[in-house]
Chain A
Amino acid sequence: MNPSQRRGLLGSALLSLLILLIVGAYYLWGEAWQARILYATFVNLLVVVGLQVFMGNANLTSFSHAAFMGIAAYAAAICVTPVAMKAISLPDAPWGLNAFALSPWTSALIALGITGFLGLLTGLFIARLTGVGVTIVSIAILVIVHSIFLHRTDIFKGNQALFGIPKVLDLPQITALVILAIFGARWFRESRFGLQLRACADDEIGARAMGVNVYRTRLVAWVLGTMFFAVAGIAYAFFLGTISARPFYFNFVFLTVAMLILGGLRSVSGAVFGTLLISIGLETIRWLETGPEILGIQLPQMLGLSGLMLGVVIVGVMAFLPSGLMGNREIEDIIRPKRQETP
């Protein structure tokens, strides 16, 4: 293990400690309804950390994560829902999709497999592109997957809810998943592939001249990223019990991208901090949106305030802090600054 990987382990451990502190605080003082918010935050955290794997290391903007999350959520949901329930929720599903039910583990594995395969397939195209090309093809993937969700109402129910998914996961399990994800993303960042990918982001021609296989590195990061989104999608479906196509589209994409760029896309710690900050901010604003009474003053109901804040965060960060709160730093760099290496 080289020094930066050792620092990576330290950093991941610190971030995990932060996550554990938050969960501990919830169990000590939290109220029951906050469990849902915390769970949703952790699902977002999985997505944002997964985004960091490709977007952060390759410095390419991709918007298709909501699509992969949706695919995994639907695949897991369709596999795991009991037959009796599917007779009601999916009465005319083709190919006998409503005639079987699997255990949660098998369903999750199948969902991971399907998403991973689609990730590999799209990755073969994405890895060949650079710059805006990646963004456009990722938007194309998002739009295509969303249209299919809406079109095949017999399988996906479109904008209606697909209900009756058993609740498999709860807060302890997702906490474990988040910690695993943090370690995984950090391990990738400091691994050979992560270093190569970051080199390509800084100077693609230079990296190539040093013998980096740009295409393969990007492909590895892309597929690894989709696996994070798949886990997030499965976790989403296994907790909420109902899913629909609507959450897996642009609004969710903007939310998670805002979280990533607020923290700074180049570091895993940035992804974690951005997610936590925006989640806290959003909950405050959601409360303002409903028109509460503060100090005896009745505030008006304000729809769209949360979206407005997201936009302001994105524009503000881009204008004044282009590399986010953390920039290129990880959490351990703040606590124990890197010694200046002597040449």
Chain B
Amino acid sequence: MDYAIQQILNALSFGAEYALIALGLAIVFSIMGLVNFAHGEVIAFGGYSMVIVGTLLTRNPFLLMGAVLLACVLVSVLLERVAFRTVRKADLTTGLLTAFGVSIILQNLFLLLGSPRPIPATQFIFLDRTITLGAVQVSSLQIYETLATAVAIGFLLFFLRRTTLGLAMRAAALDFEMVRLCGLRANRVIATAFAVSGLLAGLACIFIMARRGSVLPHMGFDPVLTAFVACVIGGFGSLPGAVLGGFLLGAVEVAVLVLLPQSYGGLAQAVVFALVALILVWRPDGILSPAREKGDKV
């Protein structure tokens, strides 16, 4: 029983991390149809800015968290301005390849200006303590992570449902031209989407840093690849789909780790990706949306 609770908590915290990153991908995709592979490098940028601010300005972890969030938001908005604005009207493949290009550029910039070896940044490690709840031992980080994701989703819901800009963003996901005709600035709506996406990346960055305690140029790539899969499972561009996909993927990953014998641990990622491929063949548009006939009006 305790073991089961332990694993469920594991699944929840894995899922929370994927959901956070997947939400960041989905919110951009829903509005401008861009698969933002550079999201992982926004996370890595958060890590590097933490190293810089942490050594130069302040060692106070809470101020540092603010700095990481701010850095991620700024770089995300900057990327939109510099790189993604030019491909806004282009088709999906162009956007995808551009995002890959941006991701490669940033990774190599980190390599060039930083170091190919991990740089330690341990200020957030204090979040990760072992707590004993009854008979179950849990990591405090897992609880924080699950709670923070829940709060972030709550705020996002509030923002999307109760503010004008949020309403504009929901409308933009349906029909961007119409939103512009109603007198809202396209640039502002898209910049907000990237800002929110950057904020979510910053949040994910804090938890990733608390777990790893060091930064690497390509540290964002694998989490984003998995989150990308989460988005796909849930239905690309759908925010509830991203959250559902994230938690589902966390559960699958923990289940694979528990069910497969220890020696097969290296194949966990392979099993997850195989499942995704099968889901896509069954439901090309994700679990939440049934397969459509080509040419149907949406």
- Could you tell me which A residues sit within 8 Å of B by CB distance? 59-61, 125, 128-133, 135-137, 139-141, 143-144, 147-148, 150-151, 204-205, 208, 250, 254, 257-258, 261, 302-305, 307-308, 310-315, 318-320, 322
Cβ–Cβ < 8 Å partners of B280 in chain A? 129, 133, 136-137
Which 10 pairs, one residue from A and one from B, show the smallest C-beta to C-beta distance? A314-B101, A311-B105, A304-B111, A311-B104, A307-B108, A315-B101, A304-B108, A140-B273, A147-B270, A319-B86
The one of B87, B229, B266 that contacts A147, using a Cβ cutoff of 8 Å: B266
Q: What distance in Å separates the Cβ of B147 from its nearest Cβ neighbour in chain A?
A: 31
Residue from the set B101, B112, B228, B266 with the largest chain A CB neighbour count within 10 Å: B101
Whether B270 contacts A143 by the Cβ 8 Å rule is yes
Whether A311 contacts B277 by the Cβ 8 Å rule is no
CA–CA, A135 and B106, complex, Å: 22
- Number of residue pairs A-B, CB distance < 8 angstroms: 132
Query: Does B187 lie at the interface of the complex (its beta carbon under 8 Å from any beta carbon of A)?
Result: no
Q: What distance in Å separates the Cβ of A329 from its nearest Cβ neighbour in chain B?
A: 19
* Stretch touching chain A among B91-99, B167-175, B176-184: B91-99
Query: Does B102 lie at the interface of the complex (its beta carbon under 8 Å from any beta carbon of A)?
Result: yes
Q: What distance in Å separates the Cβ of A340 from its nearest Cβ neighbour in chain B?
A: 28
Whether B109 contacts A308 by the Cβ 8 Å rule is yes
Cβ–Cβ < 8 Å partners of B106 in chain A? 311
Main secondary structure of the interface of B (DSSP, over half): helix
Cβ–Cβ < 8 Å partners of B150 in chain A? none
Please name 27 pairs of A and B residues whose Cβ atoms are closer than 8 Å in the assembled complex, sorted by A: A60-B93, A61-B93, A61-B97, A125-B277, A132-B96, A132-B236, A133-B232, A135-B35, A136-B277, A136-B280, A137-B281, A139-B273, A143-B269, A143-B273, A147-B266, A147-B267, A151-B266, A208-B294, A302-B112, A304-B107, A304-B112, A307-B104, A308-B109, A310-B101, A311-B107, A312-B101, A319-B83
Q: Which of B248-278 contact A (CB under 8 A)?
A: 264, 266-267, 269-270, 273-274, 276-277
Please judge, given known A-B contacts A302-B112, A319-B87, whether A310 and B104 are in contact too, CB under 8 Å: yes
- Could you tell me which B residues sit within 8 Å of A by CB distance? 35, 83, 86-87, 90, 92-94, 96-98, 100-109, 111-112, 116, 217, 221, 225, 228-229, 232, 236, 264, 266-267, 269-270, 273-274, 276-277, 280-281, 284, 294-295
Q: What distance in Å separates the Cβ of A55 from its nearest Cβ neighbour in chain B?
A: 9
The one of A136, A250, A318 that contacts B90, using a Cβ cutoff of 8 Å: A318
CA–CA, A310 and B111, complex, Å: 14
Q: What residue of chain A has the Cβ atom nearest to residue B83's Cβ? A: A315
Q: What residue of chain A has the Cβ atom nearest to residue B109's Cβ? A: A308
Q: What residue of chain B has the Cβ atom nearest to residue A318's Cβ? A: B98
Please judge, given known A-B contacts A125-B281, A305-B112, A315-B98, whether A151 and B264 are in contact too, CB under 8 Å: yes
Cβ–Cβ < 8 Å partners of A310 in chain B? 101, 104
Cβ–Cβ < 8 Å partners of A250 in chain B? 221
Cβ–Cβ < 8 Å partners of A314 in chain B? 97-98, 100-101, 104
Q: What distance in Å separates the Cβ of B131 from its nearest Cβ neighbour in chain A?
A: 34
Cβ–Cβ < 8 Å partners of A150 in chain B? 266
Main secondary structure of the interface of A (DSSP, over half): helix
Cβ–Cβ < 8 Å partners of A303 in chain B? 111-112, 116
Residue from the set A148, A254, A308, A318 with the largest chain B CB neighbour count within 10 Å: A318
Whether A129 contacts B284 by the Cβ 8 Å rule is yes
Cβ–Cβ < 8 Å partners of A254 in chain B? 100, 104
Cβ–Cβ < 8 Å partners of A61 in chain B? 93, 96-97
Q: What distance in Å separates the Cβ of B60 from its nearest Cβ neighbour in chain A?
A: 32
Q: What distance in Å separates the Cβ of B213 from its nearest Cβ neighbour in chain A?
A: 23
The one of B94, B221, B273 that contacts A322, using a Cβ cutoff of 8 Å: B94
Please judge, given known A-B contacts A304-B108, A307-B111, whether A205 and B97 are in contact too, CB under 8 Å: no
Q: What distance in Å separates the Cβ of A328 from its nearest Cβ neighbour in chain B?
A: 15
Q: What distance in Å separates the Cβ of B225 from its nearest Cβ neighbour in chain A?
A: 7
Q: What residue of chain A has the Cβ atom nearest to residue B110's Cβ? A: A304
Beyond contacts A61-B97, A137-B277: 9 other A-B pairs, Cβ-Cβ < 8 A, are: A136-B232, A141-B277, A143-B269, A304-B112, A305-B108, A305-B112, A311-B106, A315-B83, A319-B83
Cβ–Cβ < 8 Å partners of A308 in chain B? 104-105, 108-109, 112
Cβ–Cβ < 8 Å partners of A147 in chain B? 266-267, 269-270
The one of A128, A136, A144 that contacts B229, using a Cβ cutoff of 8 Å: A136
Q: What distance in Å separates the Cβ of A318 from its nearest Cβ neighbour in chain B?
A: 4
Q: What residue of chain A has the Cβ atom nearest to residue B218's Cβ? A: A250
Cβ–Cβ < 8 Å partners of B103 in chain A? 311
Q: What residue of chain B has the Cβ atom nearest to residue A319's Cβ? A: B86
Q: What residue of chain B has the Cβ atom nearest to residue A151's Cβ? A: B266
Whether B266 contacts A133 by the Cβ 8 Å rule is no
Whether A135 contacts B98 by the Cβ 8 Å rule is no
